[in-house]
Structure 1
């Protein structure tokens, strides 16, 4: 049976994707912890005075770190949702077309819910 005829990925395929997602989730959580730690250090450094950072630069750096932390939070959430889709055996199905997303795309962007065709059509 080819991918066009399949309604879902096999349990073996899902196990492969779960490993990829778990690995990326571990790394994303480490990055998030790093950003949150950096923010905490900046907050506890008396507005950056101990580091020799003026208030304008300190605020800009804090904003950048906050934005990076927010992006990591979203990535963690998307990866966790992908893990739930694997558990429910609906992982890899495009939410627009209802067809399977290519394995190549899922390996590159394991939290995606759109096929290339659906993404390009947006």
Structure 2
């Protein structure tokens, strides 16, 4: 909603700082998790490259490794997307539009922000079908 881009939050600077710190903590935790999964996947890739020509592969092992690799890549993508949502929320804090529903232009209740601090939408918008997949 275009109006929500112009509307400023009614949250106090203290509340905005609280959510900023909460989001920064979540981003840091998520980045650590992302780095760990990337390291695991990198090790799997290296081990697979080293072992590929030196030993016979049992089809079950290959399938399990491929499944684990696919799950890692899906998790990496999910975490990267989550970090992007956090960064977007931090930007909204900086420009004082944090906590404004981008579908309705109304203030998002604190309970919703506590539960999903990176959200751009109110439950009202979700329930009314004004948004998809968020």
What is the TM-score when the length of structure 2 is the normalising length? 0.80
Change (3 A) 1:47 1:60: farther
Task: Determine which of 71, 74, 78 is the counterpart of 1:64.
Answer: 71
Per-residue deviation, 1:46: 2.1
Please name the residue that 2:110 is paired with.
103
Indicate conservation of the 8 Å contact 2:8/2:96, yes or no.
no
Q: What is the distance in 2 between the residues matched to 1:120 and 1:47?
A: 49
User: Which of structure 1's runs of 4+ aligned residues deviate more than 4 A?
Assistant: 47-50
Indicate conservation of the 8 Å contact 1:21/1:79, yes or no.
yes
> What does the per-residue CA deviation read over 1:3-52, in whole Å, with 9 as the maximum and x for residues that have no partner?
xxx951121111111011011111111111111111101101125959x9
Please name the residue that 2:132 is paired with.
none
Please name the residue that 1:3 is paired with.
none
SS at match of 2:47: coil
Task: Determine which of 20, 26, 31 is the counterpart of 2:22.
Answer: 20
Larger Rg: 2
Aligned residues: 116
Greater RCO, 1 or 2 (C-alpha within 8 Å, sep 6+): 2
What is the TM-score when the length of structure 1 is the normalising length? 0.87
Please name the residue that 2:33 is paired with.
31
Indicate conservation of the 8 Å contact 1:94/1:100, yes or no.
yes
Q: What is the distance in 1 between the residues matched to 2:77 and 2:62?
A: 22
- Structure 2: give runs of 5+ residues left out of the alignment: 1-6, 130-134
> What does the per-residue CA deviation read over 1:65-90, in whole Å, with 9 as the maximum and x for residues that have no partner?
10011000000110011111100010
Task: Determine which of 41, 56, 61 is the counterpart of 1:54.
Answer: 61
